[in-house]
Chains A and B, each alone.
Chain A
């Protein structure tokens, strides 16, 4: 091996060690810079994808019409959640004031966001949304969409990489683990997706149930609220199959959210007081309060 090869190899290893020692803040700054550099390319790629996927679906001129439609859909979804939230707020407010004298607190803050791309990764199911620091998005913030009359969990913010972009790790990924329960029972477990981005819509696994759990196919699976990261009663999916084991049981769960067609999502902003938020069966409503 020639001297120059050895020198460059040593320099390469030194550089590698230096980079490995980067802290989270440095990495975040670098990624923010890259996001800004690649921003036009990403939005260009997104436009191409939208145009290609929209071919044959429109007879009128596309771009403006689609933008208007998306705005309207986003507004409709936001309003739907707002209505659910307000209805439940009124009900809960009355019930709590009358029966338990609960103290009403401010409602959950939702930030509408648009999905701008998916990171090409073999190992993580992620997507990038167009809201970041400027909208006060924080890591681990839950991301939801309306599913019928309820709020369905999409995943959580993995990283905020700029003023106008954040990475969301989807519920279909193994690393997004959610404390969940089977509706109508006391059965609780941990719900997670699969390792590797092998599919957009994998079956989720609800582990650590009791081996004789009542988990008939079709039963809804919702967040339990344990751990405080995700609000209670967010819709996760439906039981597809239950497999009792020697010690614990495991249920296969069909996700409630179609991760393949996500365009507009909502991020739940962190609570200023640090209190764990809570929703009711019908959707988002209020914060957890104690009398």
Chain B
């Protein structure tokens, strides 16, 4: 329980940190999505129900702060509607839960790669929804590069955040339990 609260605090701090993250001009104005990356990292370490709760809280807070209300003509709902980030966080968090067993065994490579993939996927989904509303799929090289660079920044930051979370888990005595496996491991256990 203590660990979950600390994860929530870390997510809150990531919102503060996000305000200080600049867009990088040479990376087609891509930027590190610190909140998303922190959530995806947290999603690897918590059970599914907790992940969904975190997705709801983080997605809601993200939209409350960063939602841009651009309404298509004749519609009361924005292109990327308020709550869409919650949906994306829930969806991507569910995907990330698939690599949780690997993380539990101390293998970080695939989870880190998967965090990058999920960042990329969420951007692609957002772009497709936006294009659907505007009635035209326009795909430029710069667009792909921007999304790839954003994902790359996530992958670079993910190990640091995972390290922080694993330290917090160790400090609070939290064990990442995998349902269906009898032996329970915690961080620091030799497998």
Which residues of A line the B interface, CB within 8 A? 2, 4-5, 7-9, 11-12, 15-16, 19-20, 22-24, 27-28, 30-31, 33-35, 38, 41-42, 44-45, 48-49, 117-124, 126, 158-159, 167, 169, 174-175, 195-200
In the complex, the answer to whether B28 meets A31 with C-beta atoms within 8 Å is: no
In the complex with contacts A158-B69, A196-B127, A120-B49 CB distance below 8 A:
no
CB neighbours (8 Å) of A174 from chain B are 134
Q: Which residues of B contact A124 (CB under 8 A)?
A: 68, 70
Taken together as a complex, chains A and B put the C-alpha atoms of A199 and B29 apart, in Å, by 6
Separation of A124 and B68 alpha carbons in the complex (Å): 8
Cα-based distance from A49 to B23 in the complex (angstroms): 12
Complex Cα–Cα for A288 and B15 (A):
46
CB of B66 within 8 A of chain A? yes
Give A33 to B60 CA distance when docked, in angstroms. Answer: 12
- Measured CB to CB, the residues of B under 8 A from A are 15-16, 18-23, 25, 28-31, 33, 48-49, 52-53, 55-56, 60-61, 64-71, 76-83, 86-87, 90, 123, 126-127, 130-131, 134, 138, 140, 142-143, 146-147, 150, 179
Q: A280 to B88, alpha carbons, bound, how many Å?
A: 48
Q: List residues of chain B with CB within 8 A of the CB of A42.
A: 19
CB pair A195–B134 under 8 Å, yes or no, is yes
CB atoms of B70 and A34 under 8 A apart: no
CA of A167 to CA of B148, assembled, Å? 27
Q: Name the distance in Å between A234's Cβ and chain B's nearest Cβ.
A: 21
For A8, the chain B residues whose CB sits under 8 A away are: 48-49, 52-53
The smallest C-beta distance from B149 to any residue of chain A, in angstroms, reads 10
Contact of A31 with B67 in the complex, beta carbons under 8 Å: yes
**A-chain residues with CB within 8 Å of residue B80 when the two chains form the complex:** 123
A95 CA to B15 CA in the complex, in Å?
A: 57
29 A–B contacts, CB within 8 A, in A order: A4-B49, A8-B49, A8-B52, A8-B53, A11-B52, A15-B86, A16-B56, A16-B83, A16-B86, A16-B87, A19-B86, A24-B69, A27-B67, A27-B69, A31-B64, A31-B67, A41-B16, A45-B19, A49-B22, A119-B66, A120-B18, A120-B23, A123-B127, A123-B130, A124-B70, A169-B68, A175-B70, A196-B127, A198-B146
A257 vs chain B, min Cβ distance (A): 18
In the complex formed, the residue of B with least CB distance to A121 is B68
A197 touches B29 (CB 8 A): yes
Give the residues in chain B near A119, CB-CB below 8 Å.
66, 68
Q: CA–CA, A44 to B16, complex, Å?
A: 10
The distance in angstroms between the C-alpha atoms of A7 and B53, with both chains bound, is 12
**Known A-B contacts A16-B83, A198-B140, A199-B28; A34 and B56 likewise in contact (beta carbons under 8 Å):** no
The residue in chain B whose Cβ has the minimal distance to the Cβ of A2 is B179
State whether A38 touches B15 (Cβ < 8 A).
yes
Tell me which of B16, B56, B61 contacts A15 (CB under 8 A).
B56
Closest-CB distance, A203 to chain B (whole angstroms): 12
Asked whether B83 lies within 8 Å of A20 as measured between CB atoms, the reply is yes
How far apart sit A75 and B141, CA to CA, in the bound complex (Å)? Answer: 43
With a CB–CB cut-off of 8 A, which chain A residues contact B78?
A: 27
Interface contacts beyond A12-B56, A175-B79: sample of 7 additional A-B pairs, CB < 8 Å, sorted by A: A8-B52, A9-B52, A12-B53, A120-B21, A126-B68, A167-B68, A196-B127
